[in-house]
Amino acid sequence: MSGGGVRNTEPVDRIVEELLVASAGNRLAELFKALDAVADQAWWPRDVDYAAEALHQAALGADTPSRRNRLLRHAIGRAEQYARWASCTAEHDARLHHAREIGAALVPQG
């Protein structure tokens, strides 16, 4: 993620909203791929990945535990990748903390 991207989170928000209602597995995969593409172009001046946080918040209102966990797992992956892009250890640790916070919201499934 570069500092020269656009400060427009609307494309990310729109795809996250679609993820909350998409039903087919293939459609979900397409949406996650589209989300990653637009999110990696959006500049977000925070210590968290915007798409990861948007997915996290949306997942809390998901209609099923399965959908909630699928959104959260993708959010965790994005947050972990964002942490790997950190330029120093303290920044990495702060960003990795976000991934752990998201992971705490996973619903145990039997």
Q: What is the pLDDT of residues 31-73, one digit of tens each?
A: 999 999 999 887 676 778 999 999 999 999 999 999 999 999 9
Q: Which of 82, 74, 95 is nearest to 105 (CA)?
A: 74
- For the cut 80, the answer to whether the pLDDT of residue 7 exceeds it is no
At 39 the three-state DSSP class reads helix
What does pTM read for this prediction?
A: 0.85
Token pair of 44, please? Answer: 């977000």
Token pair of 39, please? Answer: 């999110």
Long-range CB contacts for residues 84-89, cutoff 8 Å, separation at least 24: 85/1
| Per-residue pLDDT at 72 | 97
